């Protein structure tokens, strides 16, 4: 299995790049963001994933290992092949994809050409538990505990509010947090108070 490729970039096309490794030019299918970081004639390292089909061997290249792992994870969802997985990463950053899957954000997922509402719902259903707890990064690079949003949302849904109301409450609570994140039960009480005012 080819895990990564390092060599001189000899050609860049709209959807792929050729990297010469030990005298052999390897063509890697890449998303636009990955291609933007490459320069013809310069050395580059790309994380790689080899997709084997009956009639082809296709090498996909990524700027880092995180993108590669997410590319491979996306393909474990039914109906998602390598081209669609790459399209997801062409439209969204890995962090955005993980947040969308973790939070059931169908609107973000359906922005990807080829993913409809049903496909997005299936991806969330099949991949949400595989993503793991989210760590959200704020604008200053600090990491916030991102698990609370999903826990509060689930708590609100369990009490009979709609998904739209739950999302609205989580967003409203998030705006009140400045600094350290309070315990989830406290955040849930706050969400319920906010929703109580809107009923």
What does the pLDDT look like over 21-58, one tens digit per residue? 999 999 999 999 899 999 999 999 999 999 998 888 99
pLDDT value at residue 158: 79
Check whether 164 has a pLDDT greater than 90: no
Q: Note whether 135 and 127 are within 8 A (CB).
A: no
Q: Note whether 120 and 94 are within 8 A (CB).
A: no
Domain spanning 66-132, CATH architecture: Orthogonal Bundle (1.10)
3-class state of residue 8 by DSSP = strand
* Angle made by CA atoms 89, 90, 95, in degrees to the nearest 5: 40
4-63, CATH topology level: OB fold (Dihydrolipoamide Acetyltransferase, E2P) (2.40.50)
For residue 12, count other CB atoms closer than 10 A to its CB.
Answer: 15
Q: Where are the domains of the chain?
A: 4-63, 66-132, 134-199
3-class state of residue 52 by DSSP = strand
Per-residue model confidence as pLDDT tens digits over 52-76? 988 889 999 999 988 999 999 999 9
């Amino acid at each position: 299995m080819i895990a990564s490729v390092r060599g001189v970039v000899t050609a860049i096309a709209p959807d792929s790049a050729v990297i010469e490794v030990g005298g052999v030019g390897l063509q890697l299918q890449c998303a636009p963001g990955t291609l933007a970081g490459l320069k013809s004639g310069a050395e580059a390292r790309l994380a790689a994933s080899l997709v084997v089909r009956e009639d082809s061997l296709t090498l996909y290249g990524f700027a880092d290992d995180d993108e590669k792992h997410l590319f491979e994870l996306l393909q474990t969802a039914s109906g998602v092949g390598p081209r669609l997985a790459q399209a997801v990463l062409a439209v969204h950053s890995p962090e955005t994809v993980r947040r969308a899957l973790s939070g059931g954000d169908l609107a973000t997922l359906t922005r990807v050409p080829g993913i409809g509402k049903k496909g997005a719902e299936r991806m969330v259903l099949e991949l949400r538990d595989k993503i793991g707890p989210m760590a959200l990064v704020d604008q200053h690079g600090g990491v916030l505990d991102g698990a609370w949003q999903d826990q509060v949302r689930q708590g609100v849904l369990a009490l009979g509010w709609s998904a739209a109301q739950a999302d609205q409450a989580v967003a409203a609570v998030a705006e009140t947090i400045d600094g350290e994140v309070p315990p989830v039960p406290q955040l849930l009480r706050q969400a319920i108070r906010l929703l109580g005012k809107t009923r």
